[in-house]
């Protein structure tokens, strides 16, 4: 993806896939600020959507946000599960996504080597 049209197509794809899902208790939030995009957030977002589709996970909502504020640790994603702290993963690549989805989103086990932040609510 190298043009604004590519980004718009990705946005439409994400919106169409996430609009099908109703408000969910499981969420993955991808930092899509300019620093995140430069570090590969689009590829990570595509990998997340692909993995969710492959596993047929209908209870996971994927959202995007602007800059999370830790630019040196991009690509950043947050995983929010009910009854657990919000976990921020940093320096995430597309190849990390299957492990994060399988371990954390499905089984509730935090992938400790990628954690850069934890928010208790």
- Note the CATH number of domain 4-119: 3.40.30.10
DSSP assignment of 49-86 equals HHHHHHHT--SEEEEEES--S-GGG-S-EEEE-TTS-E
For 33, the 3-state DSSP assignment is coil
pTM above 0.85, yes or no: no
Domain range annotation of the chain: 4-119
User: What is the widest separation between alpha-carbon atoms in the chain?
Assistant: 40
Q: Give me the tens of pLDDT residue by residue for the chain, a chain 121 residues long.
A: 678 888 788 777 777 665 544 445 899 999 999 999 999 999 999 999 999 999 999 899 999 999 888 999 999 999 999 988 999 999 999 999 999 999 999 999 999 999 998 776 5
Residue 120 CB coordination number (10 Å): 6
């Amino acid at each position: 993806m190298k043009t604004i049209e590519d980004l718009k197509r990705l946005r439409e794809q994400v919106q169409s896939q996430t609009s099908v899902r109703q408000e969910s208790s499981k969420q993955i939030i991808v930092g899509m600020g300019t620093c995140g995009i430069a570090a590969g957030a689009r590829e990570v977002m595509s990998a997340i959507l692909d993995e969710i589709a492959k596993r047929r996970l209908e209870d996971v909502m994927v959202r995007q946000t602007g800059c999370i504020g830790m630019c040196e640790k991009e690509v950043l994603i947050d995983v929010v599960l009910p009854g657990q702290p919000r976990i921020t993963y940093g320096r995430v690549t597309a190849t990390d996504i299957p492990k994060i989805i399988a371990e954390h989103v499905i089984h509730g086990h935090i992938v400790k080597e990628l954690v850069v932040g934890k928010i208790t609510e």
